[in-house]
Amino acid sequence: MIPFDYAAASDTGRAVATVTARPGAAFLAGGTNLVDHMKLGVATPDMLVDVTRLPLDRIEELPDGGLRIGATVRNSDLAAHPLVRGSYPVLSQALLAGASGQLRNAATTAGNLLQRTRCGYFQDVTTPCNKREPGTGCAAVGGWNRHHAVLGASEHCLAVHPSDLAVAMSALDAVVSVLGEDGERRIPLREFHRLPGDRPERDTVLAHGELVTSVELPPLPAGARSGYRKVRERASFAFALVSAGAVVVADAERVHEARIAFGGLAHKPWRATHAEEALRGAAPTEENFMRAADAELRHASPLRGNAFKIPMTRNALAELLRELTTQERR
């Protein structure tokens, strides 16, 4: 591991100022992703600013019935919180599917949103990777791409975003609050992560030195049900081949509202707006669930090694929607 400086932040403003002033600096919270990448030589910060002592570890109910989640709330605490389990089960389910218990005890809300791809080429410094070293190429284009993107990819990068939490939060219309040298700003989660385009090294719209301080979840519509479905290669801790998070308001006659996000398919949590449009006003039937999936997946461009993701996504979404529209209303 390369030598680096370390500082424990005493307040958010000072943390932001310290990282902003030093191009090679980075924030450190749980470290479950960053420290691994430092060991591999993928990340080489020359300074770490520890934000775990800042007062960003609270979960608060908002006056409108929504929820504010501090950036350093641990995944285990968030998954177990009564308001999350009761009102936002899609989030609790995604967190519990996302990692081992030991990792959930260390990982934080902001760190989970900001984690980087698990593409094997990105994590192997001996291979070309535009995300790790812009301009070197993408080894996955002609290589092993079983786990890679089928939506929104470019010739410069085929990697997928690994977060389960981010998929759930996309379906929940979450809003991320950040603090930078120019002050505070709020970013809808749907706009927080980027597609690769010709700048795959940029995962998010954050500027250097901007610190995530919290994530807000709006209240869900009356009668809404939510859930998360993850398909992986083994039942124990593994990243998604395909995942789906959904919020649905429906009765026996029709689907009144649907919010759907996919994981494992793109460089960012993929909000399935075409599927949502296809479902609204439709009867909650298996045929319509499959049509909704097809409306989104007609834009897919599968690779040699991952065409299986198309039927897998259709089936995962249909199973989730079936569960959310047939279970006894709470």
Which tens digit of pLDDT belongs to each residue from 93-115?
999 998 888 889 999 999 999 99
pLDDT in tens, 47-102: 999 999 999 999 999 999 999 999 999 999 999 999 999 999 999 999 999 888 88
Give the pLDDT means over successive 10-residue stretches in the chain (330 positions). Answer: 91 97 97 94 96 97 97 97 97 93 91 96 97 97 96 98 97 98 97 97 97 98 96 87 98 96 98 98 97 97 96 98 77
Cα separation of 100 and 96, whole Å? 8
The pLDDT value recorded for residue 327 is 63
Give the per-residue pLDDT at 98: 87
Q: Could you give the residue range(s) of every CATH 3.30.390.50 domain in the chain? A: 225-326
- CATH architecture of the domain covering 225-326: 2-Layer Sandwich (3.30)
d(CA 163, CA 115): 7
Q: Which residues belong to CATH 3.30.43.10 in the chain? A: 5-50
The pTM score is: 0.95
Angle between helices 164-171 and 89-98 (to 10 degrees): 170
Q: Which residues contact 10 (CB under 8 A, 6 or more apart)?
A: 53
Which long-range contacts does 124-128 make (Cβ < 8 Å, 24+ apart)? 125/40, 125/41, 125/42
* Apex 192 CA angle, 186 and 197, nearest 5: 145
Q: What is the pLDDT of residue 330?
A: 40
Handedness of CA 166, 171, 175, 180 (dihedral sign): positive
pLDDT of 329: 42
Q: Residue 1 has what pLDDT?
A: 63
Q: Which one, of 211, 249, 243, lies nearest residue 230 by Cα?
A: 243
Q: Domain 5-50 - what CATH class?
A: alpha beta
- Structure confidence at residue 235 (pLDDT): 78
Task: Fill in the amino acid letter for 58.
Answer: R
